[in-house]
Amino acid sequence: MDFNEDLLLLLILMFIWVEYLWELYLSLRQLHIYKTNNAIPEDLNQMLNEESFKKARVYGIDKSEFKIAKELFNIILTTIILYKRWVYTVWSSSESFAGILNISSDQEIIVSCIFMTFVTGFNFIVNMPFTIYANFVLEEKHGFNKQTAGFFIKDQIKSLALSLVITLPIISAAIYIIMLGGNMFIVWLWLFTTVVSLFLLTIYPSVIAPIFDKFEPLAEGNLRNGIENLASQLKFPLSQVYIVEGSKRSVHSNAYFSGLFGQKRIVLFDTLLEKHDEVKNLTTGCTDSEILGVLAHELGHWKCSHIYKSIVLTEVNLLLLFTAFGFLFKNSLLYTTLGFAPGTEPVIIGLIIVLQLILAPYNSLLSFFATALSRKYEFEADNFAVGLNYGDQLRSSLIKLGKDNLDYPIYDKLYSAWYHSHPTLLHRMENIKKQMANKKKD
């Protein structure tokens, strides 16, 4: 390698290590809070007992230590992959495998699909020990994992197969557009990815999600009537309310609405519904009125057009990324730095180098601002729920869900600002209280 190749590789490695060390620093700050804060916050003193608070602390410590270990492994592996030029090694292996199938190495799209299959399979295998540990050790220890080994294996195989089925045709079409699109390929590539992403978002609830989970219509009753009345009040185009059997995978709770155009569906995890465990003498989940408070928040996202705003920002970002790619991907230095011979410049490799490595500082900065914007949207959705007079119900449900999910309520400010797409429980409690007080004044 010449000096320029050494320098570029050094700059890439320096950035990923600086980012890693920054995130390690934040994780250590949060770990310190887990280990040293023993007092329940005053705002939650009447709602959390010492036992649940202690469980949340221990769960937080275990998750934080696991995260630190996993990220250390990832940064070391990434460094080795880049330094040893394993990207070229995998590409060369892909060409050799194509040769075994009597496919010429000139068939770049097919070789690229083989390359991505190898990469996806490698990531799947390397991450599997962490996935198994996270589910069957960490989550199991704290009472969250409900997956059997058979269910887990089926889930992982489905995820891997679906990833390849969706990704490979998209990659093939993208490479074809770049190769034949001429000077306008940036526009065509952007239009293609926009159409595909909107299509996937549209079919996800009815085609993709049922592959993994069983969806059943919510039975007639007070909760269904309350949801339909809330939707009618807001003119929300509700088509159906479903219960998803999330309890087969985990006891963590959630609720969301889906559907970009026309009719939309509301989905409730079965773990969100109030249940009483006779053996443990423990009640989990939320009451009907509290679930309506959660849904008032979710419908606030719809009313405030947060989904569409996010899509617009995503598409603008994609256009910027593809524009940068258009300017950079023909630079031979990008390929020779990773071990490719001069003149060997596969499009898929250019996409990886430019979008993931060269633009990594931009991606990190954008991620930070996207996280901050997401928190702003969450506050707006909470405010919307308060405006519908669901402030008390939302507040109560957030506390219950935080308790059920062992969500430790105290976070380091820097850690929260960098990582949290949702405001912390305490910040949401403070905001809801303030909004309710202002509403009373009005």
- Which positions are annotated as active-site residues? 298, 382
Q: How many CB atoms lie within 10 A of CB 3?
A: 7
Rounded distance, CA 153 to CA 133, Å? 14
Q: 3-state class of 242 per DSSP?
A: strand
Residue 416's identity, in one-letter code, is S
* Cα distances (angstroms) measured from residue 260 to each of 85, 263, 423: 42, 8, 25
Rounded distance, CA 441 to CA 421, Å? 31
186, 322 Cβ separation under 8 angstroms: yes
Count, residues in the chain: 442
Name the residue with tokens 């949702």: 422
| Nearest of 71, 67, 68 to residue 79 by alpha carbon | 71
Give the pair of three-digit tokens for residue 128: 């599997």
Reduced DSSP (H G I as helix, E B as strand, rest coil) percent helix, strand, coil of the chain, to 5? 75, 5, 20
Which sign, positive or negative, has the C-alpha torsion 414, 418, 424, 427?
positive
Contacts made by residues 157-163, CB under 8 angstroms, sequence distance 24+: 158/211, 158/212, 159/212, 160/120, 160/121, 160/124, 162/208, 162/211, 163/120
* Cα distances (angstroms) measured from residue 418 to each of 40, 157, 338, 381, 415: 24, 32, 31, 21, 5
- Beta pairing, strands 238-244 & 264-269: parallel
Give the pair of three-digit tokens for residue 262: 């026309």
* Cα distances (angstroms) measured from residue 265 to each of 200, 239, 246, 249, 285: 16, 6, 17, 22, 21
378 among annotated binding-site residues: yes
Query: Which helix (H) or strand (E) covers residue 238, if one does?
Result: strand 238-244
Annotated binding site for Zn(2+): 297, 301, 378
